[in-house]
Structure 1
């Protein structure tokens, strides 16, 4: 008599063959409910869950199989892979170690363990497993390659080179091996050997952008800038979205003093990656060097959107507006920079320079007053403050600074005309008369002064 679980098992297998994994999984669960020790059904259930992306359920199924058969190497390997996919690397290593202990000469298991330990930065363990894989098959190219990479990464470059050479003996036409060997030679300072390997790789695979890129970097390191540029431009045709290529081209054009070409490269990067602030700074500096201050301002404003409190960004905007002749805006941005970093002594100096160039001193009177405290003998600064206070109708404050000017430079007759306005506003008749007489000494025929 046929058992019900046998009928269900056959039905589940049919669903599995028809790739109806939902129905198959549901059926195999019923089989296991009736026959809890049926490993075959557990395997099918694990496979179904794997196909459906239900990795947690698949792991549970494989663990049930291992509970019944701890020496099932195939299941251990599958379980290890799933644990790795679900970001459980240490558990995966333990499972793979169990499998490898059961089959120490299984080169694939040893290789997989080597890769897994490499990812976890367990380099000594990784090396041991790769060597075991090679012991099982001395021509195992993948293990040789990973050993070479591991040795170079851990700064045992000469040993890494030896492994690359062994791998190339097995696969002499492998462009990637020649390219990586070239890189190892470069790290080891063997530049002639390096370029020879890059050239071999280029010959074997002329359409690999990474190989051309490495050749370009080698040319650049040797100061062959125009040749490097030519190589990078060729790579861009093969890899048009590689931002580093455009960046390197831009920097090389700058070194060759070709600002317009550099600008075009950086602008392409800004379109591809608008949030990359480094390229925004590059463009801002370049626009400034080229005298295109409006574009420079736009770049710094784009940067400021990401960092609204940066003192340097505010200072850069202030400098850009000043260079563009927008002096009052420049003062406003320098004022914001000073709010962000009150200890930056350069900012008041720069604001004073902008005021002398025609900026509105009323926008920064407090800053200029504080600056005067450190420069008590600066009559020009005192005059700026006197005029600023007078323009706002603060005659007492204006008079104080005019007096300070005369204390610093008693012979400054050029300000007597301005002082008349102060004296008149304060009803200081004698002082106003004295100021007029001083002015008449320089201009005795001035009828307006004589009438006054």
Structure 2
């Protein structure tokens, strides 16, 4: 049959614009020769694969298309978007830049390049691209929103606010601008203003699930829990399949000890809503309801939905391992983990866990060394590799990663003892006002305690500002005494300046403790002791312990322990296993914890 490109190609464009990505894919498969006729065909075909989550297939299509049409700037641009989806922003930047060389000044390409710079945290470069675009069109809403996002990420809230207000002058009902301005207000603890902005956005009649989420969160942070729950429920009535709304409602209901916190989510579960199944099973794993997770994950794996096979298999393997079925956990991921890519990495990680649980330590070392080569910045993978080295008895390699004498720093927050204790006393009084939850958060390491929400060290409070400066001074002083070492996950990234990427306060109550854990997104982690129970003088109660893994089937004693002392700061690499022994009395254990990354990796 003769090809009819003048009919097929317009149909492909129409189907793609309508979101019928499977029609695009099937049409091209049935008319394979059409991909050689026009660059728009591999562009649409690859983009359709990207939209349904088949990223590796999309990459192959774009690569073939670029061999056939090496000067197609639109193909280059689409390939760049694929790399953004894969979290490889450096490659996205390369392809957007190539597209701009073919078609200099193309608005969409420059906009996408700015997005890629933002993801890479190259804020100056991202901002420069936006300024170029705004010179051409000063009121372009998408660019005003993007530059505001760049400034927010770079903690320049006042400037971001000006751009958002500029946009709202011409588009007073722009929902994204109202939402993002609300987020700025919320981050600066201006909860009443944030609430008004979210309500105004909802009043436009263009409601989104994200708006309901943000309004409910602002109510909760403002202590208006009844309003928060009502907003979540209203949002779920309008958007019953919203993963974000379900997860946030469940988290709030859980920490407030509400009966049946997962009931709303469970009511909406079905195989035609796989995203909800993944959200539900992740929650069940985190609250250790493994049998409930197993039921739905087995159904999802059996359904063989292309976009969900990897995630479902990885979660099922996790669940089986936690239930003690190590052989089946390994079998669930082994086949597809044999040829690892960035996309199949979750399977290889679960395979490594299962190998550790089965005490097949040498195989675990081999798998985890590969994982760390694929994703060297994820600290959790180095944690697992250190565990495998320790299990194999490779003391040299274990010590290279976990040299506790060298890499763990204990120091007073302030040198003057009197200044230190008076500051800590004031900080304690403030932090106690922030702990209002009934139960520990879902998926966190603490048990029998509470944890603050939002980013504590970003708060506009004089004590918190002073705390942030003091911690940063201590961290940079500690780091300056270390020497750089190539290929080392901690020492290879040394930098004179640092940025905080997360911070929170934890209050442990009777029988409270932290399970052993690590901080996969961090680089340098730390804890400040604000209030310490007297029982730390007895039997190691409440002590911070290192090197004791929390992996089902793996039992190892700790290698190093620190007795908490009020006003002391402890710093250590984020990949080290760390947890605490329980406290047994009614006295509280109050801390501030945080994660830090090198400044050159977190901003441009």
TM-score, normalised to structure 1, is: 0.47
Greater C-alpha Rg:
1
Normalising by structure 2, report the TM-score.
0.36
Structure with the largest fraction of strand: 2
Query: Normalized per residue, which structure has more helix?
Result: 1
